[in-house]
Amino acid sequence: DAGVIQSPRHEVTEMGQEVTLRCKPISGHNSLFWYRQTMMRGLELLIYFNNNVPIDDSGMPEDRFSAKMPNASFSTLKIQPSEPRDSAVYFCASKRGLAGYNEQFFGPGTRLTVL
């Protein structure tokens, strides 16, 4: 298993452009998480899904951010329009089962730079 797959690995875009980040969770995992990592704020949870259903999106910074999970093997995080303060590393993670103590498996991250 290749683990959690994220694409692209790096994205450089200009302010105002739409950005779409993609994630393929580990097969058989039924929970998926999107995180943002910055120097100032560390690792923050943006949103998570159970069985493709969004459960908690309280960490999504504003309406410019949206996330979808159309099926068990694919999720997207979209920023429209993007702003320089959105520059960060975005991680996707997946987990098997619903127990809180189960390990989350992280993807390699997407480094986003908004100019």
Partner 1 sequence: AQRVTQPEKLLSVFKGAPVELKCNYSYSGSPELFWYVQYSRQRLQLLLRHISRESIKGFTADLNKGETSFHLKKPFAQEEDSAMYYCALSAQGAQKLVFGQGTRLTINP
Contact residues for 45 (Cβ-Cβ < 8 A; gap 6+): 33, 34, 35, 56, 59
Position among 23, 24, 33, 110 found at the interface with partner 1 (CB under 8 A): 33
Position among 12, 44, 83, 115 found at the interface with partner 1 (CB under 8 A): 44
Q: How far is the CB of 27 from partner 1 (least distance, A)?
A: 17
Residue 59 has a CB neighbour count (10 Å cut-off) of 15
Cis previous bond, 25, omega within 30? no
**3-state SS, residue 86:** helix
- Tell me: does residue 50 bind partner 1 (CB under 8 A): yes
Positions touching partner 1 (CB under 8 A) are 3-4, 31, 33, 35, 41-45, 48, 50, 55-56, 91, 93, 95, 98, 100-101, 103-109
